[in-house]
């Protein structure tokens, strides 16, 4: 029987004030790729010498302005501007504040680089050559310039470049490109609709590793803020002169575990100065009506403020406080309690971040509207806005025709960045009291989905039911390897090999576009490409090979396309950094594996060589966080389902003959709460999920995992609890931070520290990698080390990969031969061995500890020594 059509005249919520005015709405950023990835294509053309600087700048400005125009046409009242970046927003601020490390300035000057070329030198490294020089070999044996360290932007998969807060740097204003962007925004939007967004000084310094645990953190933090605040004040003057009435300072560092302790006094002192200057700026203008005092909107996101930070913020004269209400119970969570206990200033506007800027699902108005109506009675000035920037979402869902066909009842629930704009307006309208239509439409959509979902995508299907039952009936032995590491390592490939410094690769060799070009030739073309990759690795000297993933797109995307309960998109691109972008899958239902995912590809590639071929899989937490999770089920439930899928694949790879299986958990820190006990609890669950995924492997199976773009200092114990056999780390750009942290911790598992930067367009030299490996051999026993690049090579052209791997293997071979020769030279003679052994036995005798074995050995040795010849 068909479900009746929705009524638009009734509602379960009766708003108390029908006459409430419509709330203004605002955004905190928008996707920067463009609706057809125009920015990505422009960047790659520039780097390959196919377009000029003028074409890149003009094209990127067009993408930026298209985003503004779309938001304005939709009806957004306040549009965040000034965050557009060719590569990374933090990199922009490194240049704006004159904080470029001296080595980059010297290189740029020596090679007569333009400002734009220097910008990409900071981002990508190189030898100081111009754009279009990708894949060059160095003219000398000097190491190439290594770009700035890469880290993840708080708990997201977006990357940023870490400021190097060198004490030789004197900050100074260099805001030309930012002010140009603001002038264009003023022209397109006007000063009352365009809102300048600035990266706050507290967060900027905090991102530069100046925090507890570093050398002299307080003294250095004091010095840097003292130097930076005058530069920010000069920027406020320039913005005020343009006529902007308000500016945003983005300070997400305030919601971290250091926000209410280490950072709190700096926050108070810094913003007392900035707020005073912003208010005084207006008084200094000759025409007060034209240039009024400028307000400051303090913006935080990704979690809630600690009570101490909140109380400090409402005690200062900010014009607005923009808060993320999508955590810890939303509108009924921590912020509501803080407002009830400590109030909210009547002069201050509340930026109500109720629309999740990182979720692809439409908001459930029944969970939001009742509390919004109540909150409006308590707070005088409210602006409805996204919880954070919409740059974490694809551009629009409208182009997803295949998804609409495959999931017609799920599709109406999806909302990408463009659709979020309409969601904002819809919630703002409903919050006036006209919420009946919004609520009924939502109920109708969900009812259709929940009652009409057909197999095989239904939660009532046999496979889904089995998956849910299995995840609910796990036992402790499901999380534990059959033997401890000390016992099983004797059975594994790296130990049996018998020589030091085995070489391998992490991740894949092909990105989605390279894979697309290969698959145009069909299955035979894919097989030919895999064989070519295998032969190149053999010729280069790699010991443990990969099959290149030319039969896959992005690993997460490809596996998601084979699992029930997940779906992929055609155009759902999200920018990670620079030109690197991914299409995160969407979790739509219970996740289960109908058949093996990678086994056939592994078996074919292994059939091509006698060397060890790695199986390759993502870890369960990474797979969850690099997808868009379902909004109506707990994340833990979805993670366990993914872990069981990976567990079954590990088992099938072992049956197929795999001796080494890489299960990468590169995204294990993403999605973790940024402070408190909940963070520790979630990290413990990440460990459990990884153990569940890999514990099925026999003791002879060598499990590898790769850690990248993250700080390892505070998570080494969690990584060890993964109970993997080989850990590989990104290290080159981080100035050996990973190596030093692991060395201090006495890390005892086999490990690989990246020996060349996979993001650098220059082919690494043998001598540079030899120097890096030699430093590793001084820090760890050589038989503990594995030789790897810094990360996956999928973003590099294949011709560059071949040369880089050949040099890497040559460097490892050189050191291996030198070490073995040195060991032979140190090998004791027979007489020395006997003398040492006799001394050991005599020592045991003196201590009364000699057993039957030692007695027998000593007796045999004496007889041997007395025998003739």
| Boundary (domain end) residue, out of 409, 427, 451 | 451
Q: Per residue in 517-547, pLDDT tens?
A: 555 557 788 888 888 888 888 888 899 998 8
DSSP string, 201-254: HHHHHHHTT-STTSSSHHHHHHHHHHHHHHHHHHHHHHHHHHT-SEEEEE-GGG
Regarding whether 428 and 521 lie in a shared domain, the answer is no
Q: Please report whether residue 312 resides in a domain.
A: yes
Please, what's the b/e burial string for 695-716 (b: 16 or more CB within 10 A of its CB; e: otherwise)?
bbbebebbbbbbbbbbbbbebb
Q: pLDDT band for position 512 (50/70/90)?
A: very low
364: closest CA among 9, 12, 3? 12
pLDDT for residue 166: 84
Q: What are the residues whose beta carbons fall under 8 Å from the beta carbon of 499, sequence distance 6 or more?
A: 816, 820
Q: Per residue in 311-359, pLDDT tens?
A: 999 999 999 999 999 987 666 678 888 998 999 999 999 999 999 999 9
Regarding whether 788 and 656 lie in a shared domain, the answer is yes
Do residues 767 and 144 touch, judged by C-beta distance below 8 A? no
Stretch 555-575: mean pLDDT, rounded? 94
Q: Per residue in 577-611, pLDDT tens?
A: 999 999 999 999 999 999 999 999 999 999 999 99
Q: Is the pLDDT of residue 717 over 60?
A: yes
Q: Is the pLDDT of residue 129 over 60?
A: no
The helix (run of H) or strand (run of E) holding residue 452 is: helix 436-452
Regarding whether 512 and 438 lie in a shared domain, the answer is no
Regarding whether 347 and 263 lie in a shared domain, the answer is yes
CA distance 284 to 722: 60
Regarding whether 445 and 515 lie in a shared domain, the answer is no
Regarding whether 508 and 409 lie in a shared domain, the answer is no
> Which among 258, 704, 706, 759 is annotated as catalytic?
759
Q: What are the residues whose beta carbons fall under 8 Å from the beta carbon of 528, sequence distance 6 or more?
A: 521
pLDDT for residue 448: 54
Regarding whether 509 and 437 lie in a shared domain, the answer is no
554 HSE (CA, 13 A, CB side): 18
Q: Is the pLDDT of residue 285 over 60?
A: no
Q: What are the residues whose beta carbons fall under 8 Å from the beta carbon of 271, sequence distance 6 or more?
A: 249, 296, 298, 316, 318
Q: Which residue has the higher pLDDT, 167 or 43?
A: 43
Q: pLDDT band for position 771 (50/70/90)?
A: very high
Q: Per residue in 51-77, pLDDT tens?
A: 999 999 999 999 999 999 999 999 999
| Full 3-state SS string of 503-551 | ECCCCCCCCHHHHHHHHCCHHHHHHHHHHHHHHHHHHHCCCEECCCCCC
- CATH at 819: 3.20.20.210
Percentage of the chain with pLDDT > 70? 82
DSSP string, 777-813: HHHS-GGGB-B--SS--TTS-HHHHHHHHHHHHHHHH
Q: Is the pLDDT of residue 270 over 70?
A: yes
What is the average pLDDT value for the chain, to the nearest integer?
A: 85
pLDDT for residue 22: 84
pLDDT for residue 127: 55
Q: Please report whether residue 639 resides in a domain.
A: yes
Place of tokens 């030692």: 854
Give me the domain span that covers residue 760.
503-536+545-555+597-823
pLDDT for residue 199: 98
Q: Is 625 a catalytic residue?
A: no
645: closest CA among 454, 469, 407, 471? 471
Regarding whether 396 and 529 lie in a shared domain, the answer is no
Q: Please report whether residue 16 resides in a domain.
A: no
Highest mean pLDDT among 274-288, 446-460, 835-849: 274-288
CA distance 544 to 401: 41
Q: Please report whether residue 238 resides in a domain.
A: yes
Stretch 688-699: mean pLDDT, rounded? 97
Q: Please report whether residue 480 resides in a domain.
A: no
CA distance 513 to 684: 37
Provide the β-strand partners of residue 197.
Answer: 248
Q: Is the pLDDT of residue 453 over 90?
A: no
Q: Is the pLDDT of residue 861 over 80?
A: no
786: closest CA among 487, 489, 486? 489
Highest mean pLDDT among 126-130, 218-222, 510-514, 616-620: 616-620
Q: pLDDT band for position 553 (50/70/90)?
A: low
* Total count of domains within the chain: 2
Regarding whether 174 and 103 lie in a shared domain, the answer is yes
Q: pLDDT band for position 190 (50/70/90)?
A: very high
Backbone angles phi, psi at 206, to 5 degrees: -60, -35
Do residues 694 and 647 touch, judged by C-beta distance below 8 A? yes
Regarding whether 653 and 529 lie in a shared domain, the answer is yes
CA distance 246 to 296: 6
Q: Per residue in 15-51, pLDDT tens?
A: 344 456 789 999 999 999 999 999 999 999 999 899 9
pLDDT for residue 329: 64
Provide the β-strand partners of residue 612.
Answer: 544
Regarding whether 642 and 788 lie in a shared domain, the answer is yes
Regarding whether 549 and 415 lie in a shared domain, the answer is no
Q: Is the pLDDT of residue 865 over 50?
A: no
Q: Please report whether residue 53 resides in a domain.
A: yes
CA distance 647 to 222: 50
For the chain, the C-alpha Rg in angstroms (whole number) is 30
Q: Please report whether residue 617 resides in a domain.
A: yes
Q: Please report whether residue 524 resides in a domain.
A: yes
Stretch 80-96: mean pLDDT, rounded? 97
Stretch 104-125: mean pLDDT, rounded? 93
Note if the bond before 279 is cis, omega within 30 degrees. no
| Boundary (domain end) residue, out of 385, 416, 451 | 451
């Amino acid at each position: 029987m068909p479900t009746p059509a929705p009524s638009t005249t009734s509602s379960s919520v009766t708003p108390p004030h029908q006459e409430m005015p419509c709330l203004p709405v605002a955004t905190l950023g928008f996707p920067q790729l463009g609706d057809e990835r125009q920015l990505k294509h422009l960047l790659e053309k520039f780097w390959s010498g196919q377009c000029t600087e003028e074409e890149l700048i003009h094209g990127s400005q067009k993408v930026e302005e298209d985003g503004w125009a779309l938001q304005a046409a939709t009806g957004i009242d306040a549009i965040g501007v000034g965050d557009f970046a060719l590569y990374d927003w933090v990199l922009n601020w490194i240049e704006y504040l004159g904080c470029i490390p001296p080595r980059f300035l010297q290189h740029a000057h020596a090679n007569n680089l333009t400002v734009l070329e220097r910008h990409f030198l900071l981002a990508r490294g190189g030898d100081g050559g111009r754009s279009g020089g990708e894949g060059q070999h160095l003219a000398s044996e000097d190491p190439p310039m290594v770009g700035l360290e890469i880290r993840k932007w708080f708990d997201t998969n977006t990357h940023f470049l870490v400021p190097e807060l060198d004490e030789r740097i004197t900050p100074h204003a260099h805001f030309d490109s930012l002010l140009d962007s603001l002038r264009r925004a003023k022209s397109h939007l006007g000063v009352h609709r365009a809102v300048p967004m600035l990266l706050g000084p507290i967060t900027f310094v905090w991102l530069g590793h100046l925090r507890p645990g570093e050398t002299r953190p307080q003294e250095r933090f004091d010095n840097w803020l003292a130097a930076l605040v005058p530069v920010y004040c000069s920027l406020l003057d320039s913005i005020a002169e343009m006529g902007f009435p308000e500016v945003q300072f983005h300070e997400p560092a305030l919601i971290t575990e250091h926000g209410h302790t280490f950072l709190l006094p700096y926050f108070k002192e810094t913003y007392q100065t900035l707020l005073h200057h912003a208010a005084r700026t207006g008084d200094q203008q000759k025409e007060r009506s034209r240039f009024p005092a400028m307000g400051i909107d303090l913006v935080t996101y990704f979690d809630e403020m600690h009570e101490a930070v909140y109380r400090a913020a409402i005690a200062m004269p900010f014009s607005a406080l923009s808060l993320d209400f999508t955590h810890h119970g939303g509108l009924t969570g921590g912020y509501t309690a803080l407002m009830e206990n400590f109030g909210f200033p009547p002069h201050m506007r509340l930026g109500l971040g109720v629309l999740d800027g990182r979720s692809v699902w439409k908001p459930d108005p029944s969970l939001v509207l009742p509390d919004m109506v109540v909150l409006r009675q308590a707070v005088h000035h409210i602006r409805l806005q996204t919880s954070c920037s919409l740059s974490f979402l694809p551009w629009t869902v409208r182009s997803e025709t295949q998804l609409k066909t495959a999931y017609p009842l799920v599709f109406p629930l999806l909302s990408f960045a463009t659709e979020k704009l309409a969601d904002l307006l819809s919630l703002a309208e409903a919050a006036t009291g006209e919420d009946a239509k919004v609520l009924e439409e939502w109920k109708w959509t969900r009812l259709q989905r929940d009652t009409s979902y057909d197999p095989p995508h239904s939660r009532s299907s046999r496979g889904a039911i089995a998956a849910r039952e299995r995840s609910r009936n796990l036992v402790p032995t499901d999380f534990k390897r059959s033997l401890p590491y000390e016992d099983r390592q004797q059975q594994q490939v790296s130990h049996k090999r018998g020589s030091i410094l085995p070489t391998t690769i992490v991740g894949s060799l092909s990105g989605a576009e390279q894979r697309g070009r290969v698959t145009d030739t069909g299955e035979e073309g894919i097989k030919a490409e895999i064989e070519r990759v295998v032969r190149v690795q053999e010729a280069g000297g790699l010991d443990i090979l990969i099959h290149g993933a030319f039969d896959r797109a992005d690993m997460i995307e490809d596996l998601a396309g084979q699992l029930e309960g997940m779906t992929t998109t055609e155009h759902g691109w999200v920018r990670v950094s620079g030109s690197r972008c991914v299409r995160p899958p969407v979790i739509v239902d219970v996740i289960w594996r109908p058949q093996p995912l990678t086994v056939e590809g592994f078996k074919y590639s292994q059939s091509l060589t006698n060397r060890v071929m790695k199986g390759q899989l993502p870890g369960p937490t990474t797979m969850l966080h690099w997808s868009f999770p379902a909004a109506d089920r707990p994340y833990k439930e979805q993670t366990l389902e993914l872990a069981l899928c990976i567990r079954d694949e590990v088992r099938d790879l072992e049956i197929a003959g795999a001796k080494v299986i890489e299960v990468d958990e590169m995204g294990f820190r993403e999605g973790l709460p940024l402070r408190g006990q909940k963070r520790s609890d979630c990290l413990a669950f990440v460990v459990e999920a990884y153990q569940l995924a890999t514990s099925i492997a026999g003791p002879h199976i060598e499990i590898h995992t790769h850690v990248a773009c993250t700080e390892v200092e505070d998570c080494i114990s969690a990584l060890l609890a993964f109970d993997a056999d080989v850990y590989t780390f990104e290290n080159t750009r981080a100035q050996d931070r990973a190596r030093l942290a692991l060395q201090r911790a006495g890390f005892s598992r086999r490990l690989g520290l990246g020996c060349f930067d996979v993001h650098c367009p220059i082919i690494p030299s043998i001598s540079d990698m030899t120097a890096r490996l030699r430093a590793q051999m001084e820090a760890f026993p050589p038989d503990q080390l594995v030789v790897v690049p810094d990360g996956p090579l999928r973003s590099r052209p294949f011709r560059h990969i071949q040369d880089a791997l050949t040099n890497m293997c040559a460097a490892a071979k050189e050191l291996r031969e030198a070490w073995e020769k040195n060991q032979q030279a140190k090998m004791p003679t027979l007489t020395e061995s006997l003398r040492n052994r006799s001394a050991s036995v005599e020592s045991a005798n003196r201590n009364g500890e000699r057993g039957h074995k030692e007695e027998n050995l000593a007796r045999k040795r004496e007889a041997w020594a007395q025998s003739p010849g």
